[in-house]
Structure formats: structure tokens, C-alpha cells
Amino acid sequence: MTGISTLALGQSAHNYVTISPGESEQAIIAKAANITPSPRQLRWQQLELTAFFHFGINTFTGNEWGTGKEDTKLFNPTRLDARQWVRSVKDAGIKQVIITAKHHDGFCLWPSKYTEHSVKNSPWKNGKGDVVKEVADACKEYHIGFGVYLSPWDRNSPLYGSGDDYNNYFVNQLTELLTQYGRVDEVWFDGANGEGPNGKKQVYDFDRWYKLIRKLQPSAVIAIMGPDVRWVGTESGYGRETEWSVVPANNLNQEQIEAGSQHDLAFKPQGDMTGSNLGGRERIRNAKGLVWYPAEADVSIRPGWFFHDSQNDKVKSPEKLMDIYYSSVGKNCVLLLNIPPDKDGLINENDIKSLNGWKKLRDDTFGTSLLKGASAECNNGVNMQQALDDKYATYFTTRDKDSTATITMQLKKSATFDVLSLQENIAIGQRVEKFVFEYWDGQTWKQATEGTTIGYKRLLRFPAVTAQKVRLKIESSRLNPAISTIALYKQP
């Protein structure tokens, strides 16, 4: 297994499985342990940090939700510089951005052929501008991912609430976004659904939309009303203590699976996806199917999602962003942080200052693991050092079918630490259910911290301790654990 490419393993496995009536709990747990992310989901998880740019007519009206009746002449960001947006977030370590191409007000940041409510009827660049193109081009220049948000709810379109006519309109706009700007890495839908001008609710044809995305941008993940990525359940940026990426999918059925490969499937799990433990044994033992469906935690750097001058002194501090990082990326989520451009079309200096301070805190904390160069032993372990080699693709595991392990590590010299970082190699699966981390105080083993799930990344803070010998006890795992990383750090 030394140096094995787990990406190849991950691609050959399925990110879903059906469960037959009468299967034993043991068989279901084994199935859950072998579910792995699709290549697009794995790439997305490894980003860790993504950015939202909420920008549009609301930026100029001061609203959070527009009415759709706004005068397009209001949109005039005279200094708009999408390169400044993308550079600002890349400097903060963010790997992908999503632009609100159309919010609930229906105002389009690109010159859509299908509506007059767009930048083409604004004074900005004499109606010749295209915000989506400028953001897409900046992402290519700075080599970071590009995504689009298209609101299903459209308060401007007279077709909204008409059924098929509106869904056709939506597909036309989605096609423009997916064919005119190069590679799209994430398509983001929310579930907002108001009343149309005719007094009717629109029924969204999500399946049709998903199939279009799979056809035109097969590498894009579809979030959060989509089959690839789910919403964590709050807009606080804080994830769960127990975050399983494998969850029940009770609308999985054999006919649907036989009709298409995992790359074409458009299903997404149904039911409550905001509970405290979505993938525990008690939740999956009665499932009809299981699917890899990881969580995205979203939050705005300001109280609002769109820019408001009155909030310039309410930007989240570097310390608050750091706490959110521990509670999102550090709890097996990807963090989607909203940074709204201002009326001039620039990211505000207060936001940039906070982003840069946050980046410095992360750099100062996670520079070099204090376990670098440590020795490791485990009586039933294979490849002990591969948990300490700082390479995600290599990993420690256990012999035979052992689902518990104690890994003891001896540092080169005594050190003080207060952060534990753990990673499972999710290309093998998410398996760990319970772990304890201890240190030797010279006379006895003492607990520093403990946790349930690990997933792609788990970060745990605890009161600082000084020791030369530590151990990780995996007390419960669904199958042989695949531990990619064990690292220790000291917060500045």
C-alpha cells in the first residue's frame, strides 16, 4: 500500500449504494464505510475555503431581497474591478468563488438574451458590461475555481409561477451561464420559492436543471439544492460535532440507478438534512440507500449578505473568522464565506484587512506540525509513518479487519501544543466513529481531547499541554480506519 494513489481507488468506487430489505446492520455499516466521494466531490472538499460574492441591484438599493421592480439605471459600479475581488480572496487562501449572477430580484449580472432586467440596460459601461465574464476571467488569471449562483426565485419575470414556461426560461438562462464563460466548478441553487405575479407558486424542475449541468459542465458540483453538496443547516458558518458525509438517501431505487451511471444520476436525498446527526448508525440502519453528500457551511463576513455602508464597522474580526474556520473546515465542512463588493465595485478595505489578519492567524498556527519527525508505533497498524508524512494520499490503516487502534507517537523533544488536526483519506471512505487523544505527563496518560467523526478534516482545540509522548486511540470505526494525517500545533 506504500505510496498508493487513493484517487484511483476513489474514482472506481461508488458514491451511493442501495440497501436491500432485510440486510443486517453489520452489512449496512460495511456498505457505508465503502462509499466514497465522486471525483468532483473530492476536488470540492479539498478546496476547504470558497467565497461568495453577493453583488447586484441590491448593492445600490440597500435591500437584502429586491422586489424585481428596481430601475436598472441604479446599477452603476464606476470602479468595478473583479480582479481586485479575486486577488483579495486568493491572498486570504480561498480557492474558489461564486458570483450571484441573478438574485431573487431577477436582475442579471450578464447581458441575458431572455430578459431586459440586466446589466445591458444599466449605465455601467454604457450597457456593454458583463460582471460574470469579468469574474470568470479573473478566476482564470489567478487560477482559482469559478462558480455561479442563479436564484430559482425570480420576482421580475412575468413567467414565474407559470410552470413549464418559467422552467424553460430558467434553463435558457442557465445555459447561457454554462456555455459562455469557460469552465464552471460549482452551481449554487437555494430553495427560495415565493409567489408569482399570477399568485401561483412555481414548481422547479430541478431534475432537468441537474441534467443540463451534468451535460454542459460535468465537473461542476451542484449545491445546496443539488445532488453533490448539502447545506449544513444554518447561516452561521458553524458545523456539527458529528458530521457524516455518508447519509441516508431514501429516494434511491434500483431502476433509477440502472438508468444511468453515478456521473449522470440526478437524485438527491430527501427529508430533514439539518438534524444534529444525519449519518449515525441509528439513522442509516433503516435507510433504503446511502449516498456521499457532504456539507457546506455558509456565512457572511458582515451581518448582511449584500454590501451596506452602515456595516463597515461590523466586519467579522480575524479571530471570529478563525473560530468559524475551526467550526466548519475543522468539522468536515467546506466553508463558503460571503464577501460582498461595494457600490464602487470593489471589496472594502475593512473586509480585506480582516481577511488578511485571518490568513496570518492560520499561517502562524498551521505552519509545521510538531509531530514532524516523530516516531510512531501501533501493534496492529500498517504504514504508521504515513499518518505523519504530510501527504494526503498516503495513510495509516490496520491489519485484518481491525476497527480499533492505538497509535503512540514519540516527539523528538518535548513540545507545547493546543490544536489536534486529523484527516481521514476520504477516497477510501469515512469510517471513524469515536476517538480519544491523550498525552503522557511523565507518570500517567491524560486525556487532552476527544471526538466522534473525522472525515476530510477535524480540528480540535484544548487547553495547552506540554509533552513528548502522545497517543491517538481510535475506539470505534466502521471498518479499518484510513488516517491520512495526525498533526499537532500551537496557537499563537
The pTM of this model reads 0.93
- Which domain, by its residues, includes 407? 368-489
Backbone angles phi, psi at 51, to 5 degrees: -125, 145
pLDDT given for residue 249 in this prediction: 83
pLDDT tens for 126-180 read 999 999 999 999 999 999 999 999 999 999 999 999 999 999 999 999 999 999 9
Least confident segment among 142-156, 249-263, 285-299, 401-415? 249-263
- Containing 72, the helix (H) or strand (E) segment is none
Output the nine-digit C-alpha cell for 90: 486568493
Residue ending a domain, among 348, 365, 382, is: 365
Residue 256 in domain = no
Q: Which amino acid is at 4?
A: I
Instruction: Sort 468 into a burial class: Cβ within 10 Å, 0-12 / 13-18 / 19+.
Output: middle
Cβ atoms 455, 426 nearer than 8 A: yes
Average pLDDT over residues 202-207: 92
pLDDT bracket for residue 8 (50, 70, 90):
very low
Residue 267 in domain = no
108 and 205 both lie in a single domain? yes
Cβ atoms 357, 345 nearer than 8 A: no
Average pLDDT over residues 397-401: 92
Cβ atoms 19, 305 nearer than 8 A: no
CATH number for the domain spanning 410: value is 2.60.120.260
342 and 475 both lie in a single domain? no
Cβ atoms 226, 273 nearer than 8 A: no
pLDDT tens for 70-84 read 999 999 999 999 999
pLDDT bracket for residue 274 (50, 70, 90):
low
Cα 154 to the chain's mean position, in Å? 25
Share of the chain above pLDDT 90, in %: 79
Rounded-to-5 percentages of helix, strand, coil across the chain: 25, 25, 45
Residue 405 in domain = yes
pLDDT bracket for residue 234 (50, 70, 90):
confident
139 and 160 both lie in a single domain? yes
Cβ atoms 105, 70 nearer than 8 A: yes
What length is written for the chain?
492
Residue 131 in domain = yes
What is the distance between the alpha carbons of residues 192 and 66, in angstroms, rounded to a whole number?
13
Residue 474 in domain = yes
Cβ atoms 221, 185 nearer than 8 A: yes
Partnered with residue 289 across adjacent β-strands are 18
Q: How many domains does the chain have?
A: 2
Residue 260 in domain = no
What is the distance between the alpha carbons of residues 223 and 207, in angstroms, rounded to a whole number?
13
Strand-strand pairing, 483-489 and 186-189: unpaired
54 and 129 both lie in a single domain? yes
338 and 474 both lie in a single domain? no
Residue 229 in domain = yes
CATH number for the domain spanning 226: value is 3.20.20.80
pLDDT bracket for residue 252 (50, 70, 90):
low
* pLDDT for residue 7 is more than 70: no
pLDDT given for residue 266 in this prediction: 47
pLDDT bracket for residue 10 (50, 70, 90):
very low
Cα 267 to the chain's mean position, in Å? 19
pLDDT tens for 362-392 read 999 999 999 999 999 999 999 988 988 988 9
Assign residue 230 a region (left: φ > 0; alpha: ψ between -120 and 50; beta: otherwise): beta
Instruction: Supply the Cα-derived Rg of the chain in whole angstroms.
Output: 24
Share of the chain above pLDDT 70, in %: 92
Cβ atoms 57, 307 nearer than 8 A: no
356 and 401 both lie in a single domain? no
- Helices in 265-311 by DSSP H: which ranges? 281-284
Residue 161 in domain = yes
Say which DSSP state 389 is in: S
315 and 405 both lie in a single domain? no
pLDDT given for residue 153 in this prediction: 95
Residue ending a domain, among 330, 347, 365, is: 365
What is the distance between the alpha carbons of residues 389 and 142, in angstroms, rounded to a whole number?
29
193 and 327 both lie in a single domain? yes
Residue ending a domain, among 365, 386, 402, is: 365
Backbone angles phi, psi at 370, to 5 degrees: -70, -10
Average pLDDT over residues 9-26: 73
* pLDDT for residue 398 is more than 80: yes
pLDDT bracket for residue 277 (50, 70, 90):
confident
Partnered with residue 483 across adjacent β-strands are 396, 424
* pLDDT for residue 12 is more than 70: no
pLDDT bracket for residue 251 (50, 70, 90):
low
pLDDT bracket for residue 17 (50, 70, 90):
confident
pLDDT given for residue 6 in this prediction: 29
Average pLDDT, the chain: 91
What is the distance between the alpha carbons of residues 295 and 334, in angstroms, rounded to a whole number?
7
pLDDT given for residue 401 in this prediction: 87
* pLDDT for residue 315 is more than 80: yes
Which is nearest to 45 in space by CA: 185, 215, 181? 185
